[in-house]
Structure formats: C-alpha cells, structure tokens
C-alpha cells in the first residue's frame, strides 16, 4: 500500500511528528479498482483519527475501512434493506455520440430530467440515445437537473482547467481564541460527503445538529446511514433567520455541503459568517470547487466520476464503469472532518476565523494523480465483524461501524441513534467536556 498520509496530513496543516501514531493493518487492497482506493481511504480516515486525538496511538484496519467506505450498502432496518439510494434512471446511458451519466435520485432532479427528455420513464434510454452527450448535459443543467457526459481525463482537463487543491485552508479574519469545550457543529449538508464529515465529528465527541428543509427530504437510506450521533431538525432558513442566527452564535464549527454561493442569501457566505461570528471554523464542501466554469453546477460523486475521466478509466469494453465505492464522497468527508478538527485546534490556540474548503473534483484529481495498476481479483470482505446494531425510533438499525481505533479501543457510534427531523433546532447545555 503506498504511503499517502504524509502529503495529505501536510496539506491539512498537521504536524509531521504526529504521523508515527497511526498504524494501518489488514490487506493492502480490499476493493478492486484501477485506482489505489484502499490506500486513499486509509489516508483520509487516518488523517481524521490523528486530527481528533493527541498523543495516543490510532489505527485503521483496511477490512473495516472497506465496509465503512460502502456504509450505505450495508444498512438494514430490522434486518431488511431500506431500498437503494440510486433511482433506476441514475445510470450510464448511451447517447448518439458517447455516454451520459444521469442523476435522478432526488425527486426534483428526476422531474427535471423527464422534462428535458420530454418522455415517460420507460422511454428515457431511447430519448437519451437520440441526443448528444454534451448537448444533453447542458440542457439538464439549465433545467435544474444533473447529468454529465463521460469524458477522458485529458478532455476533462481541457474543459475544466486546473483542478481545485485537495484541501484549501485560509484565515478569514481576526478573532480571539475560544475556550475549549465539547465542539458544537452546525451541519448544513446532505447526500454523503458532508454527512460523512459531520458523522465522523460526532463519533469523536462533537455535538452535531443537522438542519434540513422540510420540502427537500433526505433519501431515507442516506439519512439512516449518516445520522448516528447527530440530532436532526427541520428548519426553513428563509423564514427562521432568527433561529439560524442563534444556532450560529452558539456553534464552534459550521459545515456546508451545497454549491458555492447557494446559501449566501441566508447570510451563510464564509466572509459574512466571519464578520458576524468571529472565531467560527467554517468548512465548505462542493462538487466542482469554488471557481472555474463548473463551479456553480450541481454535482454528485457519480457525476464527478463521469465528467473527470474516472468512469472512462474504470470501464471495460467501451462501457464506462465506476469506483467500487463512492470514494470521492467518503474520502472528502473524512478529510473535511480532519480539516475541521485541526482548524478548531488552531483557533483555540491562536484565534482567528478559519475556513477549510474541499471539493469532490479535488479528491478526484488527487486519486487520478496516483499510480495505477491492473486490478486483480480481491476476496470479498466479510462485513459482519464490522457492523453494529443500534436501537432507533424506526427499529433496529444495522450500520457499518465507524472505522478506526483510538488507544486500542474501536470507535463506536454515540447517541442519539438516527431519527430524521425529530430534534429541536437548538443547542443543549454549555458544560465543557
């Protein structure tokens, strides 16, 4: 397994002498891919473990890691599956001149796709086959939908320009150091990358409150999978500005997972947060980065894979393929958690309002920059030793355990168990931990 952690840890701002605390065990590869998926996942999770601890050994087992990187596949409610996060239309489709990856998992994106294609669900493949991939990609974006033409890496670089860095760190303004306490994290994320980041912060002891709009419900499987250890509340940011402001005033970290600028109208632009709430740690995640021709497009892991050349590289026989896990989401999430924790430590030691910025496209470019090899057959992992059961309001949830151990003790999911939209939109208590 290549040693990727050193460069990642440096980009996050970690001290080099901390690296010796991490031990990685297990097979060097547990997921079959052209890319070093296991090594990338281990580096991202290892960084989050180092960032969350001081002076104690931490460890990652690649078998547990392989289960965690595909956590959504292992979720069960009372022993039964909770459906798939992927709509049947969310797939690779042949176009008149190539391939297009469509995303229709959320009802509003699905509706936009059907409007653009002007057909019924059964006729979608034929409708796509009559159109060019680039033309359809643009039409979907203009209509509020999501899709990407399958490109090679070379074509993508010519289209999008230089990729965003893996991690960007900056100080937005002066602020005195805040006293140490149990971190309060305001979670303004959805899908996978951001929720994995905040799920990881919860696993390391943070008080995490996730907010969602009542008219944009999360896919149930994704909610169950990413809510352990968090409280989940429904709040209309447009009509509950006072409540939002109270939450921001009480928060230590704000994590946002929307397109750049999408939340600015609610006073959530990083610079505006620094002005009103100096001393916050602001973490922003996006699909394509904060600048460039695609910055304000919608995007998801599968869409980024298609556009940037990963789907082409993973394909066989002229048919595009996909990574064995939604690695761009999961790795970006663990890196975001590490960045948040390191920035929080810097704030408490020296002050300032810190901003950490990541993008799925940056993680994709990092992955593509690493040595590749012909994928070999890899035995399936037995997930059972790496799954846990939680009693939740909806029933008995089976979830992937959080990957990693601290001082020899495996991480566990703290309370509360996942319960979407049932919490009050407020902080509880002020006691230090």
Q: Based on the number of CB atoms within 10 Å of its own CB, is 351 exposed (0-12), middle (13-18) or buried (19 or more)?
A: middle
Contact 427, 207 (CB under 8 A): yes
pLDDT of residue 432: 35
Quick one: what percent of the chain has pLDDT higher than 70?
98
CATH number, domain with residue 337: 3.40.50.10540
Both 258 and 400 in one domain: the answer is no
- Whether 137 is in a domain gets the answer no
Both 174 and 223 in one domain: the answer is yes
Range of the domain at 184: 167-290+326-369
Both 332 and 402 in one domain: the answer is no
Rounded Cα–Cα distance for residues 417 and 394 (Å) = 10
Q: What is the pLDDT of residues 159-198, one digit of tens each?
A: 999 999 999 999 999 999 999 999 999 999 999 999 999 9
Both 198 and 333 in one domain: the answer is yes
Contact 209, 425 (CB under 8 A): yes
pLDDT of residue 430: 43
Q: Is the pLDDT of residue 431 over 60?
A: no
Q: Is the pLDDT of residue 69 over 50?
A: yes
Helix axes 37-52, 327-350, angle to 10 degrees: 20
Both 285 and 397 in one domain: the answer is no
Rounded Cα–Cα distance for residues 103 and 123 (Å) = 16
- Whether 184 is in a domain gets the answer yes
- Whether 4 is in a domain gets the answer yes
Summary count for the chain: helices (H), strands (E): 16, 17
Rounded Cα–Cα distance for residues 212 and 421 (Å) = 8
Instruction: Report the mean per-residue pLDDT for the chain.
Output: 95
- Whether 201 is in a domain gets the answer yes
What is the domain count for the chain?
2
Q: Based on the number of CB atoms within 10 Å of its own CB, is 104 exposed (0-12), middle (13-18) or buried (19 or more)?
A: buried
Q: What is the pLDDT of residues 18-61, one digit of tens each?
A: 999 999 999 999 999 999 999 999 999 999 999 999 999 999 99
Q: Which candidate in 87, 207, 252, 329 is catalytic?
A: 329
pLDDT of residue 2: 61
- Whether 36 is in a domain gets the answer yes
- Whether 207 is in a domain gets the answer yes
Threshold 0.85, pTM exceeds: yes
Q: Is the pLDDT of residue 1 over 60?
A: no
* Annotated catalytic residue 329: yes
Both 361 and 221 in one domain: the answer is yes
- Whether 209 is in a domain gets the answer yes
pLDDT band, very low/low/confident/very high, at 80 (cuts 50, 70, 90): very high
- Whether 363 is in a domain gets the answer yes
């Amino acid at each position: 397994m290549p040693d990727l952690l050193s460069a990642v840890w440096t980009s996050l701002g970690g001290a080099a002498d901390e690296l010796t605390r991490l031990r990685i065990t297990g097979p060097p590869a547990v997921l079959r891919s052209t890319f070093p998926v296991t090594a990338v996942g281990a580096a991202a999770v290892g960084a989050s473990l180092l960032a969350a601890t001081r002076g104690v050994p931490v460890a990652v087992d690649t078998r547990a890691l392989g289960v965690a990187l595909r956590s959504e596949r292992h979720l069960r409610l009372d022993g039964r599956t909770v459906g798939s996060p992927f709509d049947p239309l969310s797939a690779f489709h042949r176009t008149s001149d190539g391939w297009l990856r469509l995303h229709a998992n959320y009802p509003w994106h699905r509706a936009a796709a059907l409007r653009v294609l002007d057909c019924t669900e059964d006729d979608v493949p034929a409708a796509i086959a009559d159109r060019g991939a680039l033309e359809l990609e643009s039409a979907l974006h203009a209509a509020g939908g999501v899709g990407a033409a399958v490109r090679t890496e070379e074509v993508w670089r010519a289209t999008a320009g230089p990729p965003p860095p893996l991690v960007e760190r900056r100080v937005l303004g002066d602020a005195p150091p805040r006293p140490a306490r149990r971190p309060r994290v305001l979670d303004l994320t959805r899908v996978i990358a951001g929720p994995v980041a905040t799920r990881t912060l919860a696993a390391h002891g943070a008080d995490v409150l996730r907010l969602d709009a009542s008219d944009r419900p999360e896919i149930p499987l994704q909610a169950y999978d990413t809510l352990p250890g968090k409280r989940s509340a429904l709040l209309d940011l447009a009509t509950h500005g006072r409540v939002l402001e109270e939450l921001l005033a009480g928060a230590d970290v704000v994590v946002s997972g929307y397109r750049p600028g999408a939340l600015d109208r609610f006073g959530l632009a990083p610079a505006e947060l620094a002005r009103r709430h100096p001393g916050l740690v602001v973490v922003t995640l996006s699909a394509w980065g904060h600048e460039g021709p695609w910055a304000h497009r919608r995007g998801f892991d599968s869409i980024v894979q298609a556009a940037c050349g990963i789907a082409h590289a993973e394909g066989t026989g002229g048919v595009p393929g996909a990574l064995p896990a939604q690695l761009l989401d999961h790795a970006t999430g663990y890196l975001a958690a590490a960045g948040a924790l390191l920035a929080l430590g810097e704030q408490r030691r020296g002050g300032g309002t810190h901003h950490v910025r990541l993008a799925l496209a940056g993680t994709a470019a990092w992955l593509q920059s690493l040595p590749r090899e012909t994928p070999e057959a890899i035995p399936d992992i037995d997930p059972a030793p790496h799954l846990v059961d939680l009693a939740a309001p909806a029933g008995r949830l089976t979830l992937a355990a959080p990957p990693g151990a601290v001082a020899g003790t495996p991480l566990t999911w703290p309370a509360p168990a996942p319960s979407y939209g049932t919490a009050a939109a407020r902080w509880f208590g002020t006691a230090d931990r």
